[in-house]
Amino acid sequence: MTRLAALLVSLLLCIGLLPQAHALPDVDDNTAPQDALTDEPRTDEPDEPAAPAPVPDADVIAAAPDAPILNAQAALLVSPDADMVLYEKNADARRYPASTTKIMTALLTLEHVADLSETVTASAADFELLSPDSSSAGIKEGETISVLDLLYGLMLPSGNEAAYMLARHVGGTYADFVDMMNIRAAELGCTGTHFSNPCGLHADDHYTTARDLYKIAYQAMQDDTFRNIVDTVQHKMPATALQEERKIYTTNQLIFSSYQPWAYAYCKGIKTGNTSQAGNCFVGYAEYGDAKLYSVVLGCDDHSADYPNIPASFTDTRALFQWGFREFTSKTLARQGDTLAYTKVALSTATDQLVLTAKSDLVSLLPKDLPVEALEAVPNIPDSVDAPIQAGERIGSISYSYDGIHYGTVELVALSSVELSRVLYYADKLSHFFQSTVFKIVLAVLAVFVVLYILFGLVFGGIRRRRKRQAMRDRYRNTNYQRRRRR
């Protein structure tokens, strides 16, 4: 009996404790007491929560796996030799360009000033629109500077006064120069760009896109002087009547110091930009072996995840370049002289088939794991070509793509000459004439004339016959008519 009572008491205690166990507050796995699982002592301070894993942006289009996750609001990475976009994120969205605007200012200057030793004297108007914290090349009012030195002052320290001085020198007035900027942008195929000043100071109607900035930068980089300027870390500004010789430095942190961990040895320019409305922007160019890449990042934060003092525009750009050179490799899609297609030949007795070969080598950046044989080759050639044909004459092209991404196009040319057959030529001309609209019109007109002639004959012939019969009747009725007697 005593044992039974003790058993009942134990059972009641267990039932009473169950609600208390379920009433304990919920805890995250990350905040569970460590000494409950290990022999490590507990600490008074809770562990820092793990940083959330970055989520890929749905607006990103990448031509290879493992694309970087960027801080930028808009971005573009292009292989210029293949004319291929490797990476894009909101590339056609309108953004404020900040001082990347100055790429267009430099381009127009180099296109319109033949002698870069020409000088410009800074006027008070060149400084009127600048705020005290505006980026400057350190030029003073009344100072006379050569166009070449102004270009260095424009592109390295991003001098806004240099931009206005060049605009006035090239365009005559600031407004006329801005018109030139917009006209040139349209000529380059920019569809989302409008400039309202030569330096990039914020204005609501001053905007561009990542894709348009690439087009402008690519054109500017065709000029050797521009290429040299944007790849320069420091430049000596000659002494003037108002200042001693001094040095100006680039704002491009990827090339400013090779000893910094964020530097990128293969970067060769081009231009930074920053306003509170635009965020941090950078248009970049890099070379690695024979491969070349252009990048554009817009709307980046003032600091990157790894380097608090370095804008994310630089680390984003470096990440794009590293990914591009790592994940893509140059591959030959077609070699000059390779037989790639055939087409029919007309008007020749020598042959009825023409061999088409690659006009030149086609080298493109492909994902490293994508074999050339996997590409889809889409020919753009006529079904038939008329003789005469000259060897090397362009006949068509072949485009290479994979999974909707275009990797390049090669022109096709005739392998050999094909002579014209005169007999077939004139027979063809005669056949075409009989099938032509002109012949059909002439034939229709002749048919109309024939029908009208027949109708005319039927109508007026009947009238003549009726008149003739009536005349005969009248002759018989005439009393003076002497009837012929029968013999």
- C-alpha distances out from residue 65 to 69, 73, 329, 363, 369, Å: 12, 20, 14, 21, 10
Q: Can you read off the two tokens belonging to residue 163? A: 């931009």
Question: How are beta strands 394-402 and 279-288 bridged, if at all?
Answer: unpaired
CA distances to 344, 348, 356 from 413, in Å = 14, 18, 5
Would you state the pLDDT for residue 25? Answer: 32
Q: How many CA atoms lie within 13 A of 437 on its CB side?
A: 0
- Confidence check: pLDDT of 48 > 60: no
Q: Per residue in 271-330, pLDDT tens?
A: 999 999 999 999 999 999 888 999 999 999 999 999 999 999 999 999 999 999 999 988
The C-alpha atoms of residue 214 and residue 97 are separated, in whole angstroms, by 12
pLDDT of res. 421: 65
Query: Among all chains, which residue has been given the structure tokens 């400039």?
Result: 195
Sign of the four-CA dihedral 66, 70, 75, 80: negative
CA-CA-CA-CA torsion sign (339, 340, 342, 347): negative
CA dist list (Å): 63 to 87, 314, 369: 6, 22, 12
Q: Tens digits of per-residue pLDDT, 331-345?
A: 899 999 999 999 998
Section 184-212 average pLDDT: 97
Share above pLDDT 90 across residues of the chain, in percent, rounded to a whole number: 63
pLDDT above 50: residue 413: yes
pLDDT value of residue 342:
94
What is the pLDDT at residue 431?
A: 64
Structure confidence by residue, pLDDT tens digits, 58-115: 689 998 899 999 999 999 999 998 788 999 999 999 999 999 999 999 999 999 999 9
pLDDT, average across residues 141-168: 98
Q: What angle do CA 227, 232, 237 make, to 5 degrees?
A: 115
Residue 36 has pLDDT above 70, yes or no: no
Distance CA 197, CA 63 (A): 36
The contacts of residue 297 (CB under 8 Å, 6+ apart) are 70, 72, 74, 75, 210, 281, 282, 284, 313, 316, 317, 320
Instruction: Write the DSSP string, 27-68.
Output: --GGGS-GGGTSSSPP-SSPPPPPPPPPPPPTTEEESSSS--
Summarised one tens digit per residue, pLDDT across range 224-264 is 999 999 999 999 999 999 999 999 999 999 999 999 999 99
Q: Which two tokens stand for residue 469?
A: 């019969």
Report whether 296 contacts 285 (CB < 8 A): no
CB 251 within 8 A of CB 258: no
Q: What is the largest CA-CA distance in the chain?
A: 179
Fill in the amino acid letter for 372: V
Axis-axis angle for helices 147-155, 160-171 (nearest 10): 140
d(CA 153, CA 155): 6
Separation of alpha carbons 80 and 103, rounded Å: 18
Of 185-199, 236-250, 291-305, 440-454, give the lowest mean pLDDT range: 440-454
- The whole-number pLDDT of residue 31 equals 32
More confident residue, 119 or 472: 119
Please report the pLDDT score of residue 433 as a whole number: 62
pTM above threshold 0.75: no
Q: Is 221 left (phi over 0), alpha (psi -120 to 50) or beta?
A: alpha
In this predicted structure, what is the pLDDT of residue 440?
A: 75
pLDDT band at 439 (very low <50, low <70, confident <90, very high): low
pLDDT at 221: 98
pLDDT at 460 over 80: no
User: With helix as H, strand as E and coil as C, how does 154-219 read?
Assistant: HHCCCCHHHHHHHHHHHHCCHHHHHHHHHHHHHHCCCCCCECCCCCCCCCCCCEECHHHHHHHHHH
User: What six digits make up the tokens of 207?
Assistant: 């905007």
- φ/ψ of 137, rounded to 5, equals -95, 5
